[in-house]
Amino acid sequence: MARDVVRSTLARWDTVLLVVLAAVVVVAGVLVEGFASGRNFQFLLLDVVAIALIALPLTLIVITGEIDLSVASTLGLCSAVMGQLWVAGLSLELVVVLVVGLGAVLGAVNAVFVTRFALPSLAVTIGTLAAYRGLAFVVLGDQAVADFPFSWTTAASSTVGGGSVPWAAVVTLVLAVVFGVVLHATPFGRSLYAMGNNAEAATFSGIRVARAKFWLFVVSGAVSGLAGVYWTLRFASARADNAAGLELAVVAAVLLGGVSIFGGRGTLLGVLAGVLLLGAVRNALQLADVAADTLNVVTGGLLIASVVVPNVVGMARTRWRRRQRTA
């Protein structure tokens, strides 16, 4: 019964978000000059790709009740290493594979602390947030590596058939489908919700909690590494400070997408809607010449609303049900 309530609320949050997203797009398209154009959608999608990518594994992690705050630092370190490896003369194909592998290793470090030493992931990944960013500066200092081949840097922002859909967005969408299937259509995915709701019960029912979490952190690291490759090529600049602070945008998108910060609830569709909603709002406000600081306030406000609104709605419904039952 309780679970049904949770499920229906969730389904609603997805729908609510998609409706809000559609409304924002329509309103901005009418009111904001320059919003409703192919080029602008291309810019918008290019801007949200990195956030969307990292949000995919993070969604799964948050559903198990854990968190990974080291994602943007992993991206930065991978970007810095990518620059150094390229300077060292390795082929770019090999560099990309190594960098994604490095991301996986960095994720594994988080995983070891969280699963083997049973430390809270919040503390562990705040630690590696600082440590990986520090390492990035050790690797590349305040220099930038920029002489990547032109064909690769343009590839990062090239579009399908020269239209307005970037290839990067297509790749992200395909990955989203993969993650969506894993989360919503496999026993593994369902076990993640069980872990988030009650890790102890999940353990007793035979789910290997530690092992599942271990691999989730590894995948999170690898995808952050992949996002690092994208970021580096898109901005044609490998830098230690790349994507600094992006972890907040990703967490905001995941929470706005309806994933409970306490674990056990959330859908990937909701998260994608959350990513796009945040991106569209920022894009529209920017086109309307709203100042950067105001923009940050709006984003923060949306985040708070995303945490408060479902809770208030949930409480109201429970109360209403109880009253009906007693009546």
Residues 246-285 touching another protein, rule: CB under 8 A, are: 282-283
- 201 near another protein, judged by CB under 8 A: no
- 37 near another protein, judged by CB under 8 A: yes
- 116 near another protein, judged by CB under 8 A: no
**Which of 241, 248, 314, 317: binder of another protein (CB under 8 A)?**
241
Closest distance between another protein and the C-beta of residue 283, in Å?
8
Question: What's the token pair of residue 87?
Answer: 């300077």
> Binding mask 7-36 vs another protein (x if CB under 8 A, - otherwise)?
--------------------------xx--
Closest distance between another protein and the C-beta of residue 182, in Å?
6
Q: Which of residues 296-325 bind another protein (CB under 8 A)?
A: 296
Closest distance between another protein and the C-beta of residue 26, in Å?
18
**3-class DSSP assignment, residue 159:** strand
**Which of 24, 152, 198, 203: binder of another protein (CB under 8 A)?**
152
Per DSSP, the residues of 7-50 read: HHHHHHHHHHHHHHHHHHHHHHHHHSTTTSSHHHHHHHHHHHHH
**3-class DSSP assignment, residue 85:** helix
Report how far residue 126's alpha carbon sits from residue 153's, in angstroms, rounded to the nearest whole number: 31
Report how far residue 143's alpha carbon sits from residue 23's, in angstroms, rounded to the nearest whole number: 43
- Residue 145 main-chain phi, psi, to 5 deg: -105, 125
> DSSP code of 164?
S
- 239 near another protein, judged by CB under 8 A: yes
Nearer to another protein, 117 or 150 (CB): 150
What is the size of the binding site for another protein (CB under 8 A)?
A: 71
- 213 near another protein, judged by CB under 8 A: no
**Which of 19, 26, 138, 188: binder of another protein (CB under 8 A)?**
188
- Whether the Cβ atoms of residue 287 and residue 33 lie closer than 8 Å to each other: yes
Helix H or strand E segment including 288: none
- 156 near another protein, judged by CB under 8 A: yes
Residue type, 54: I
Closest distance between another protein and the C-beta of residue 203, in Å?
14
- 150 near another protein, judged by CB under 8 A: yes
238 beta partners: 145
166 beta partners: 159
Report how far residue 258's alpha carbon sits from residue 59's, in angstroms, rounded to the nearest whole number: 10
Nearer to another protein, 207 or 310 (CB): 207
- 286 near another protein, judged by CB under 8 A: yes
**Which of 199, 219, 254, 272: binder of another protein (CB under 8 A)?**
219
- 159 near another protein, judged by CB under 8 A: yes
Determine the distance from the C-alpha atom of residue 63 to the mean position of all C-alpha atoms in its chain, rounded to a whole number: 13
- Residue 239 main-chain phi, psi, to 5 deg: -140, 150
- 167 near another protein, judged by CB under 8 A: yes
**Which of 95, 109, 136, 144: binder of another protein (CB under 8 A)?**
144
Q: Which of residues 69-108 bind another protein (CB under 8 A)?
A: 93, 96-97, 100, 104
Nearer to another protein, 198 or 286 (CB): 286
Report how far residue 301's alpha carbon sits from residue 295's, in angstroms, rounded to the nearest whole number: 10
Helix H or strand E segment including 286: helix 268-287
